[in-house]
Structure 1
Amino acid sequence: MAPIQKECDYLVIGGGSGGLASARRASGMYGAKTIAIESSRLGGTCVNVGCVPKKVTWNAANIAETIRDSKAYGFSVDQTAPFDWPTFKQKRDAYVKRLNGIYEKNLVNDKVEYIHGHATFTSPNSVSVTLDDGSKTDISAKKILVAVGGHPSKIDLPGAELGINSDGFFDLEKQPKKVAVVGAGYIAVEMAGMLHALGTETHLFIRHEKFLRTFDPMIQDKVTAEYERQGIHLHKNSSQSKIEDLGNGMKKVYYKDQNGEGTMEVDTILWAIGRAPEIEKLGLDKTGIKQNEKGHILVDEYQNTNVEHIYALGDVCDRGFELTPVAIAAGRRLSDRLFGGQKDAHLEYSNIPSVVFAHPEVGSVGMTEPEAREKFGNTVKIYNSAFTAMFYAMMDPDDKAPTHYKLICEGPNERVVGLHIMGLGSSEMLQGFGVAVKMGATKKDFDSCVAIHPTSAEELVTMK
């Protein structure tokens, strides 16, 4: 059976947040004939195995912490049973499935043709799509966007397949009793924090002394110390040599850490060692697209690849911000430029705020202190604040979590070039302060804003 032949103005490969945002704007706002292709579930990593189910799980963990903390406020909450992981998972899956349907409905509303299948380049201007039934559809396009995202990186050691990755975390049918989380980035830190808060004995294996090592040193120091205070078992300077299957769902981890060699029996091993671009079956060799040593597609600030009429955005490219809102913003601006006549439309990749849903939350926007000192030298001035949030006023000393804030300023006007916060409410707090930093606010601007009392956020406008 001969392949179906299609043509379009704009072909988007990848149905994640960035690709869909670009496709919908191109078609719905500018009338470009647009086709979007996705081989898995609509919404990409964020909706299915990332931000959305992660935040729902973090909410559950936060509630567990609140139940424990409620005793200090005079409540007597009797837990008649442990956390009901299977029921929670069922409801979380249903929520994600509903979002998949909403994404598909939005494509219909914006007149984007959606094809479920796997696309492979056959030339710089065409792809062959293998559909679910095995049939083929060939598509030629004037412009093509590659927005296929990434996948968890694999680790190469004996028995590694006995573990799961961050995608597999959301497939767990029952709560782990004892888990080994391997990794030091935000995914590892978030999942270790959630599991610990929900009652799992949690061991976090990191290669160095601290985790979140791309963040400001204050964040690295304070969150690492806080995880240790909470009782998460940190294995620093660690490596694993092999994993052994013990049967009955149990595995033995062979490792080295700061205390020497050891073994550990766990029911779950979670690899969270980074992500790689989803390019293996894309046929990029047919296009001449340039990639870096890790396989990421090279793009400029306008999302252009080296091949005319092919663009890339999101986790598959080399811009360094694997964040859903970044991909969405880049996708919309790309369509504004390609089809809306806005010749200079592009995403500014500076001062992008980000949050880690750790325990407690972390927020960061702008430069770290080392970055600022490297760029501005001795014109940098640092403001720090460390305190206990009012929420903990009713609690015993051992139950109080610290809050740490840091402002990084430069020049005679003390322009705020970095803001780093750790503590209750940081995720919601950061959005407004992110606007201020993006606008070039100075320390004087912060000081001139009347504090909202009593809040933790007021510390950011009263620092001395």
Structure 2
Amino acid sequence: MAEFDYDLFVIGAGSGGVRAARVSAAFGANVAIAEEHKVGGTCVIRGCVPKKLLVYGAHFAEDLKDAQKFGWQLSEQPSFDWPTLRDNVLKEVDRINGAYTDTLNSHDVEIYHERATISGPNEVTLASGETKSAKYILVATGAWPHIPEFPGSKHAISSNEVFHLDTLPKRVLIAGAGYIANEFAGIFNKLGSKVTLINRSDVILRQYDQSIRDRLLQISMMKGIEFRFNAQFENIERNDDGSLEVRMSNHDPITVDQVLIATGRVPKTDGLGLESAGVELDDGGAIVVDEYSKSNVDSVYAVGDVTNRVQLTPVAIREGNAFAETVFNDTPTTVDYGCIPSAVFSHPPLAAVGLTEGEARNQLGSIKVYQSDFRAMKDVLAERNERALYKMVTDADTDRVVGLHMIGPDAPEILQAAAVAIKAKLTKADFDNVVALHPTMAEELVLLR
């Protein structure tokens, strides 16, 4: 008889957990996975996928207006129906959930649609009370929205609930200054809501280059989004008409219909039973792992946001794949966390890879910066007064491109290919030697001066 019920038991069927389970099974491991919600995890169910679909939906507000400058005459005033967009997005989420489930089934991964906790170094306990043993346990439970405690915080929602709103709020207050806050600010603004964004500091998207984030702030304000900086919640009270009265430090009270808190996400380790196996956590509740995603307990591994290394879906997928290669294919594999591209699907979107100008100056000392500040051809004809900004940072001594930052239409789509060049350590001269693809916005990358 086998010593354990499974070779691998995965807790959490998000992007990282599903990849680890599927690839491990392909290598011949006997694998089970437990998920208390839908298969697919944060990105597919309540994150980047449904949010990007909302971004597409919101952008039609500008596209329909711009179309008139291109000769399209609309026979009647366009109107927007929130339930239609919401329900179609959730329908797509269900489809992807089914696809993920089919992938696991096709690889003979046993799925437990219930919560699982760790009850020992080689044992998990299901919500039903049943226990299962495994040679290895992989924790891939991701992260969860952080909701600060203050009077009336129960009246606010997180990014988990925002996809299920019954009605589109006419007035919405968003707390935060990162990806989620700025993306939903753009979505609600384009769908017709009055948006106010508050933040406890005076900086948005701190990890991005200052020129790019300043440009987003400028354009967002032009679009009518109000920013209140150096503001912290004091309390939220519900009025008799259902609206919310929000009081905050350093600013006047504001009445809104919805409050969305997007102040970050924390590793989802509470109540997981990690102490039963002696697994070490850091001060933020994340599982401490080595370069092979192994915790201080030899049989327990962790990948994705629960480790708080880099909270990005593609990174979790790579970590899941590397885990399977290391443990079940006898091929020790690590993930390279250098030069990871990222994007914010704001209005307009921004994208970046490599060092910001400030980081480059601190690390390299002598640098050269090249910029292109321009209006996209489509925006010129549409008489839309928004300027794109592309910025390249190079090492002055070697001419190597160490950072690329951009804001403007389709910036994330353009940056993906350009990130390959940065990762390959190409020089500014290598960019200059490429013939421009005209007329495109992307050609600015090989014309920077």
TM-score (norm 1): 0.94
* Contact 2:267 2:308 survives alignment (8 Å): no
Report what 1:159 is aligned to. Answer: 152
Match of 1:173 among 166, 181, 189: 166
One-letter amino acid of the structure 2 residue matched with residue 462 of structure 1: L
Q: Deviations over 1:132-177 (max 9, x none)?
A: xxx3221111111110001100111110111111111011021111
User: Do residues 350 (structure 1) and 348 (structure 2) align?
Assistant: no
* Contact 2:4 2:135 survives alignment (8 Å): no
Pairs within 5 Å for 1:102-181 = 102-130=99-127, 135-181=128-174
One-letter amino acid of the structure 1 residue matched with residue 375 of structure 2: T
User: Do residues 395 (structure 1) and 385 (structure 2) align?
Assistant: no
Residue 81 of structure 1 and its aligned partner are, at CA, apart by 5.6
One-letter amino acid of the structure 2 residue matched with residue 263 of structure 1: P
* Contact 1:196 1:202 survives alignment (8 Å): yes
Report what 1:382 is aligned to. Answer: 369
Output the CA distance in 1 between the equivalents of 2:12 and 2:76: 44
Report what 1:26 is aligned to. Answer: 24
Residue 78 of structure 1 and its aligned partner are, at CA, apart by 4.5
Output the CA distance in 1 between the equivalents of 2:199 and 2:219: 15
Q: Deviations over 1:171-211 (max 9, x none)?
A: 10211111001110010000000100111111111222231
* Contact 1:6 1:137 survives alignment (8 Å): no
Residue 329 of structure 1 and its aligned partner are, at CA, apart by 1.2
* Contact 1:180 1:204 survives alignment (8 Å): yes
Residue 80 of structure 1 and its aligned partner are, at CA, apart by 4.5
Residue 18 of structure 1 and its aligned partner are, at CA, apart by 0.5
Output the CA distance in 1 between the equivalents of 2:242 and 2:314: 38
User: Do residues 422 (structure 1) and 407 (structure 2) align?
Assistant: yes
Structure with the higher fraction of residues in strand conformation:
1
* Contact 1:53 1:96 survives alignment (8 Å): yes
Output the CA distance in 2 between the equivalents of 1:292 and 1:77: 57
Report what 1:12 is aligned to. Answer: 10
Pairs within 5 Å for 1:249-264 = 249-257=242-250, 261-264=251-254
Q: Deviations over 1:48-102 (max 9, x none)?
A: 1101110110000111210122222232225546311011111111111111111
Output the CA distance in 2 between the equivalents of 1:309 and 1:411: 47
CA-based RMSD: 1.4
Report what 2:226 is aligned to. Answer: 233
Secondary structure at the residue paired with 2:365? helix
One-letter amino acid of the structure 1 residue matched with residue 435 of structure 2: V
Q: Deviations over 1:4-55 (max 9, x none)?
A: x971111111100110001000002x01011111111110101111011101
* Contact 2:199 2:228 survives alignment (8 Å): yes
In structure 2, the gaps of 5 or more residues are: none
Output the CA distance in 1 between the equivalents of 2:235 and 2:432: 54
Report what 1:440 is aligned to. Answer: 425
Report what 1:331 is aligned to. Answer: 320
Secondary structure at the residue paired with 1:262? coil
Report what 2:180 is aligned to. Answer: 187
Secondary structure at the residue paired with 1:158? coil
Q: How many residues align?
A: 447
Residue 428 of structure 1 and its aligned partner are, at CA, apart by 0.8
Residue 411 of structure 1 and its aligned partner are, at CA, apart by 4.5
Output the CA distance in 2 between the equivalents of 1:79 and 1:109: 49
Match of 1:93 among 73, 90, 95: 90
* Contact 1:389 1:402 survives alignment (8 Å): yes
In structure 1, the gaps of 5 or more residues are: none
Decide whether aligned partners of structure 1 residues 275 and 79 sit closer, same or farther in structure 2, where only a CA change above 3 A counts.
Answer: farther
User: Do residues 270 (structure 1) and 239 (structure 2) align?
Assistant: no
Output the CA distance in 1 between the equivalents of 2:240 and 2:431: 59
